[in-house]
Amino acid sequence: MNPVNGPELRDIHLPPPPSWWPPAPGWWIVGALALALLIVATVYSYKMLQRRRRRLALLAEFERTVAGARDDRIALAAALSAFLRRLALQREPAAATMAGEAWLAHLDRAAGSDEFSTGVGRALLDAPYRAHADYDASALIALVRRTLRSNAAEAAHV
């Protein structure tokens, strides 16, 4: 066997390296799942951000309401009553027709206590209409603030 006289042999031909495009079907599935997960996470984050903004705006409106009428007990009771009414109307339109004890019972259900019917919350019924309102203003503000904080998450969904 003379290498010079025999057929000329060539070395082994290796196939070209695999191309990165198009990817294998498994990578398409992984990419689609990652894109779907990214879309879901973005939508969820956006909704949570909107809820947080609405909640903070609601708390800021409450603080402005209190600050605007803090020195006048009659105006404070009227402003807090109007604020609670607007808040209730967002979740339950039937709250527009509630008055008296039914209104206080509705507020008690929202607060999860009976402080509106039997406590300082009763001032919301008659204090706005009296010449001299005699109630604990700081306790009423604290009651409305607790009610608002406990229901702010539900109010932000609306």
Q: What is the pLDDT along the chain (158 residues), one digit of tens a residue?
A: 555 677 788 888 899 888 889 999 999 999 999 999 999 999 999 999 999 999 999 999 999 999 998 889 999 999 999 999 999 988 888 888 899 999 999 999 988 889 999 999 999 998 888 888 889 999 999 999 999 988 766 655 55
Four-residue CA torsion sign, 102, 103, 104, 109: positive
User: What is the spatial distance between Cα 61 and Cα 39, in angstroms, rounded to a whole number?
Assistant: 33
How crowded is residue 39: how many other Cβ atoms within 10 Å of its Cβ? 10
Q: Is residue 50 part of a domain?
A: yes
Q: Is residue 3 part of a domain?
A: no
Q: Is residue 105 part of a domain?
A: yes
Q: Is residue 138 part of a domain?
A: yes
Question: Is the full-model pTM beyond 0.85?
Answer: no
* Phi/psi of residue 22, nearest 5 degrees: -80, 145
Q: Is residue 32 part of a domain?
A: yes
CA dihedral 22, 25, 28, 34 (to 10 degrees): -140
Number of domains in the chain: 1
Q: Show the domain range for 114.
A: 25-157
* Phi/psi of residue 110, nearest 5 degrees: -65, -35
Q: Is residue 5 part of a domain?
A: no
Helix boundaries (H) for the chain: 25-69, 73-91, 100-111, 115-118, 123-126, 137-157
Q: Is residue 14 part of a domain?
A: no
Q: Is residue 13 part of a domain?
A: no
Locate 30 and state its tokens. 């992984």
